[in-house]
């Protein structure tokens, strides 16, 4: 069964064709990063307008790359939440119009569930139950996956998502946007033990996360440093994202040490709670999803903590970590088989939860 997936929840316009929930025939992604970088974050109005401008050609490219005709598509799966309301509306409206015109089924997809499903596109058999960690710009959540479609939320962020913390720290340090890949790259040249930044302790919510305190600790540390040093090493960054000329840093530390220490604290908070959840549940495997799953230090720490412990670690390829439509179409196949379809009254739900 050939399913067309459409994803417009944030700042990527994506379309893909997937057969029988596994075989990816095409996966086209149009990024808006360069349009939002100058503002240091995503501007919802710009995101919506850019989706409108490119969605036709993105879907057409997905059909062409799959070497099929639009008439070969048997159903359409589309993200209807969570995400930016205006951005979601573009994808849902397009999908509804196409489903109506072609008289084919419309499948509503939860963006969060799709990120966790992404590993199924590359691993034929997932050992369940599993602890799933979703890390992205807007979400930091940990879920017990009992079976596909059956989830129990264990914890979520109480304030900033980890991706938001990366963006805000990068903005404070003048590194540009998006903060995740920039900090991850710069941290490779730093000493992650240079500064002991705090790990949040949450009294009520064993598996909940908090990143506002870590972000504030980095800001206060650099603000109170009392020295100004040039950036010690300049690494290639995305076009149009200049490094600052000078930063307030202690004489013995570099910018690389600051971001490496920040990243270590941020990632350690994630991996420690995942491993605690493994101990407290019957889960024997870990699934990572979302853009944050591309982080090299997260992958390293989880590999270090699971090796020789009988725990299977599932992390999707980089292209399936960030927002994409292959995961939407793939999950759509299973939703179709379960009879979970939508009619043309389908609306968007920017605050959609796991169990909705």
Question: Tell me, what's the pLDDT at 251?
Answer: 52
Question: Tell me, what's the pLDDT at 345?
Answer: 96
Question: Tell me, what's the pLDDT at 250?
Answer: 52
User: Which residues have a Cβ under 8 Å from the Cβ of 206 and sit 6 or more positions away?
Assistant: 155, 273, 276
Cβ atoms of 210 and 157 within 8 Å: the answer is: yes
Question: Tell me, what's the pLDDT at 245?
Answer: 41
Question: Tell me, what's the pLDDT at 242?
Answer: 42
Where is 39: in which H helix or E strand? Answer: none
Domains along the chain with CATH numbers: 2-118+320-337 (3.30.420.40), 127-315 (3.30.420.40)
The pLDDT tens digits for 161-218 are: 898 999 999 988 888 888 889 999 999 989 898 888 988 777 777 899 989 889 988 8
Angle between helices 296-306 and 255-280 (to 10 degrees): 40
| C-beta neighbour count of 33 within 10 angstroms | 15
Question: Tell me, what's the pLDDT at 238?
Answer: 39
d(CA 178, CA 301): 22
Q: What stretches of the chain adopt beta strand conformation (E)?
A: 2-7, 12-19, 23-31, 75-81, 106-110, 130-135, 140-147, 150-156, 229-230, 246-247, 285-289, 312-314
Regions of the chain short of the pLDDT cut 70 = 224-253, 355-356
Query: If we measure between CA atoms, which residue out of 215, 40, 211 comes closest to residue 136?
Result: 211
Phi, psi of 14 (to 5 degrees): -135, 145
Question: Tell me, what's the pLDDT at 272?
Answer: 92
Question: Tell me, what's the pLDDT at 354?
Answer: 73
């Amino acid at each position: 069964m050939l399913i067309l997936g459409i994803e417009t929840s944030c700042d990527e316009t994506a379309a893909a064709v997937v057969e029988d929930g596994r075989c990816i025939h095409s996966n086209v992604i149009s990024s808006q990063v360069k349009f939002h970088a100058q503002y240091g974050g995503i501007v919802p109005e710009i995101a919506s307008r850019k989706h409108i401008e490119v969605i036709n050609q993105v879907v057409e490219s997905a059909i062409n790359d799959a070497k099929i005709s639009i008439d070969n598509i048997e159903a359409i799966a589309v993200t209807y939440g969570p995400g930016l309301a205006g951005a979601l509306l573009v994808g849902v409206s397009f999908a509804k119009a196409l489903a109506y015109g072609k008289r084919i089924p419309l499948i509503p997809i939860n963006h969060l569930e799709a990120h966790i499903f992404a590993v199924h596109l590359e691993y034929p058999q997932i050992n369940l139950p599993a602890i799933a960690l979703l890390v992205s710009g807007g979400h930091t959540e940990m879920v017990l996956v009992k079976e596909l479609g059956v989830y129990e939320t264990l914890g979520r962020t109480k304030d900033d998502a980890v991706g938001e913390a990366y963006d805000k720290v990068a903005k404070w340090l003048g590194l540009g946007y998006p903060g995740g890949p920039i900090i991850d790259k710069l941290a490779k040249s730093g000493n992650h033990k240079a500064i002991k930044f705090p790990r949040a302790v949450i009294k009520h919510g064993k598996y909940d996360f908090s990143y506002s305190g870590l972000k504030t600790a980095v800001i206060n540390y650099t603000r109170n440093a009392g020295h100004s040093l040039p950036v010690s090493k300049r690494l290639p960054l995305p076009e149009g994202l200049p490094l600052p000329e000078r930063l307030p840093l202690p004489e013995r530390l570099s910018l690389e040490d600051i971001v490496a220490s920040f990243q270590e604290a941020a990632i350690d908070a994630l991996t420690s709670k995942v491993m605690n959840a493994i101990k407290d549940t019957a889960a024997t495997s870990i699934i990572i999803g979302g853009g944050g799953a591309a982080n090299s230090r997260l992958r390293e720490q989880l590999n270090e903590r699971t090796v020789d412990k009988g725990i299977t670690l599932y992390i999707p390829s980089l292209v399936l970590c960030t927002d994409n439509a292959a995961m939407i179409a793939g999950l759509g196949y299973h939703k179709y088989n379960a009879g979970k379809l939508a009619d043309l009254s389908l609306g968007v739900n920017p605050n959609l939860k796991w169990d909705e």
